[in-house]
Amino acid sequence: MKREKIHGFLVNFEDSLKNTGIYYLQYDLNPGAARTFFEAARNESQAYFEDDHERRFTLIYNRSDGTYNLESN
């Protein structure tokens, strides 16, 4: 599992998601749009989203340490 800071949020993810979900959150979306997913995950424990290629992801908030996990659906 890797960890990277995206728009100020620490995200844990499998290496296979580096060029898909991580890239989408970090580079395809503007920071404000990406923040909405992080805020939704923090408020609801998780947030679902799709990238431009209709790949589905879940962003999960870890209350114990304030980080997020990104998973592919």
Q: Into how many domains does the chain fold?
A: 1
pTM for this predicted structure: 0.94
Three-class secondary structure of residue 52 per DSSP: coil
Q: What is the pLDDT of residues 42-57, one digit of tens each?
A: 999 999 999 999 999 9
What is the pLDDT, as a whole number, of residue 10? 98
pLDDT band, very low/low/confident/very high, at 26 (cuts 50, 70, 90): very high
Closest CA to 25 of 63, 58, 1, 67: 58
Share of the chain above pLDDT 90, in %: 100
Please, what is the Cα angle at 73 between 25 and 39, to 5 degrees? 40
Spatial neighbors of 18 by CB under 8 A, at least 6 apart, are 2
Q: Which domain holds residue 43?
A: 2-72
